[in-house]
C-alpha cells in the first residue's frame, strides 16, 4: 500500500493545535484544584507540569500527539517522539519514561506501517535517555501519534516560563519555518533540500539542559504550535516583562523564506496571529518575517532567557549541538504601550 501519510489528513503536526486564544479562555474558566505539591500547573501555560516529590526532586509530566507532518513513517515516529520529549527538556529536566498515544486507521493503512513508525519513535526515546514503558492505541479515522512523557529535575534546577528578568538576553536554539515547509510538502510545492533541512531540525532532540547545567536559566519555553510570538507572549505574560525580538537575527530553515513569500500558509498561521495581534508591536516591514514569527513549529527549538553576562558562553555551548542557535532579542520591563512583544 503506497500512501503518502500527509494526504490522509487535512492538517499535520503542531499546526493541528486548537486556536491558542480560545483554548486559553476555556482553561481560564475551569475550577481546578491546585494542591501545594503542584509547583507548575495550567496558570502560566507552561510546557509541562511540575510536581514536588518532597525529596528535592520535581516530577515533570507532559503529553503531546498529532497527525502526520511528513510522509515517511519512520521520520514521523522520530518527530512525534522528539516533540513530546521536548517539553521535559524545556523544564530543565531529563525524560525517563514515555507512554504511546496511538490512533490508527486500520481500514485505510497497512498495520505494517506500525513497525517503522514505532522504530523511529523508540530510536529517539532511547537517545533521550528514556524508555518506552507502555501506551494505548485505538482504531480511528485519522493517524495520530504521540507520547505521555515523565521526567525529573532537581528543584533548584527547574526551568519555568515565568522567571525572565529585565536585561536578559534571549537565545533560540533552532531555526524557524517547519510549519510553512511541511505545508509545502503536503501541497507538493517543496524541494528535497528544504524537506531534508526541516526533518533534520524536527528530529533533533532539545537536550539543552545538559549543555548549560552550570548556568542559571531565568526562563525557558519550547517553540511549537503557537509559533515564536505565541510562546514568547506566554513567557512575557508569566514573567511580567516585555520581550523584544530582532527580526534580522532570527534563524530561518532553508526554504522557509521562499515558502512564506509564496504565501504557503496554513490555518495555524492565522489563528496564531489572531492570538498575539493585540499584544504585539510589529516594526519590521517585511511581511514574510511576520508570518515566520507565527509559523507553527513542530519539535521547534527552546527559547532561553539568560543574563547578558552569561549569554555568549551559553550560546557557545549550545552551538556545539545546535548550529543554528542565535541571540534573537532581549527582555525589558513593561512599557506604557502595554505591548508584551515587540518585533523590530
Q: Please state, in angstroms and as integers, the Cα–Cα distance from residue 250 to each residue in 124, 203, 273, 324, following that order.
A: 27, 20, 18, 9
SS3 content of the chain, % helix, strand, coil (to 5): 40, 25, 40
Q: Which residue has the cell 521520520?
A: 75
- CB-based burial, 135-147: b 16+ in 10 Å, e otherwise: eeeeeeeebbbbb
Please tell me which residue in 14, 203, 259, 284 is annotated as part of the active site: 14
DSSP class per residue in 227-284: HHHHHHHHHHHHHTEEEEE-GGG--B-TTHHHHHHTT---HHHHHHHHHHGGGEEE--
**CA-angle at 334, arms to 171 and 90, nearest 5°:** 30
Please give the grid coordinates belonging to residue 50: 511540575
259 belongs to the catalytic site: no
Query: Looking at the annotation, which residues are catalytic?
Result: 14
Amino acid at each position: 500500500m503506497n500512501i503518502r501519510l500527509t494526504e490522509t489528513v487535512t492538517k499535520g503536526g503542531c499546526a493541528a493545535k486548537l486556536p491558542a486564544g480560545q483554548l486559553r479562555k476555556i482553561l481560564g474558566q475551569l475550577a481546578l484544584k491546585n494542591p501545594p505539591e503542584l509547583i507548575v500547573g495550567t496558570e502560566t501555560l507552561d510546557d509541562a507540569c511540575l510536581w514536588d516529590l518532597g525529596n528535592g526532586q520535581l516530577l515533570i509530566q507532559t503529553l503531546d500527539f498529532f497527525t502526520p507532518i511528513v510522509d515517511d513513517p519512520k521520520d514521523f515516529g522520530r518527530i512525534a517522539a522528539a516533540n513530546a520529549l521536548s517539553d521535559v527538556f524545556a523544564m530543565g529536566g531529563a525524560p525517563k519514561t514515555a507512554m504511546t498515544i496511538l490512533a490508527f486507521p486500520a481500514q485505510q493503512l497497512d498495520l505494517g506501517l506500525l513497525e517503522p513508525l514505532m522504530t523511529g519513535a523508540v530510536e529517539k526515546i532511547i537517545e533521550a535517555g528514556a524508555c518506552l514503558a507502555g501506551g494505548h492505541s485505538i482504531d480511528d479515522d485519522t493517524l495520530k501519534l504521540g507520547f505521555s512523557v515523565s521526567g525529573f529535575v532537581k528543584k533548584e534546577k527547574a526551568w519555568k516560563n515565568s522567571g525572565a528578568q529585565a536585561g536578559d538576553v534571549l537565545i533560540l536554539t533552532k531555526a524557524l519555518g517547519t510549519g510553512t515547509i511541511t505545508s509545502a510538502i503536503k501541497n507538493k510545492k517543496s524541494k528535497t533540500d528544504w524537506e531534508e533541512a526541516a526533518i533534520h531540525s524536527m528530529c533533533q532532540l532539545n537536550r539543552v539542559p545538559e549543555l548549560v547545567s552550570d548556568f542559571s536559566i531565568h526562563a525557558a519555553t519550547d517553540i511549537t504550535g503557537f509559533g515564536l510570538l505565541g510562546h514568547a507572549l506566554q513567557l512575557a505574560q508569566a514573567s511580567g516583562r516585555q520581550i523584544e525580538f530582532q527580526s534580522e537575527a532570527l534563524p530561518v530553515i532553508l526554504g522557509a523564506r521562499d515558502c512564506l513569500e509564496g504565501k504557503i500558509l496554513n490555518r495555524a498561521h492565522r489563528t496564531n496571529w489572531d492570538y498575539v495581534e493585540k499584544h504585539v508591536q510589529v516594526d519590521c516591514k517585511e511581511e514574510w518575517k511576520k508570518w515566520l514569527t507565527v509559523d507553527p513549529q513542530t519539535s521547534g527549538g527552546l527559547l532561553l532567557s539568560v543574563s547578558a553576562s552569561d549569554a555568549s558562553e551559553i550560546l557557545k555551548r549550545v552551538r556545539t549541538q545546535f548550529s543554528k542557535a542565535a541571540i534573537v532579542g532581549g527582555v525589558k520591563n513593561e512599557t506604557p504601550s502595554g505591548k508584551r512583544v515587540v518585533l523590530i
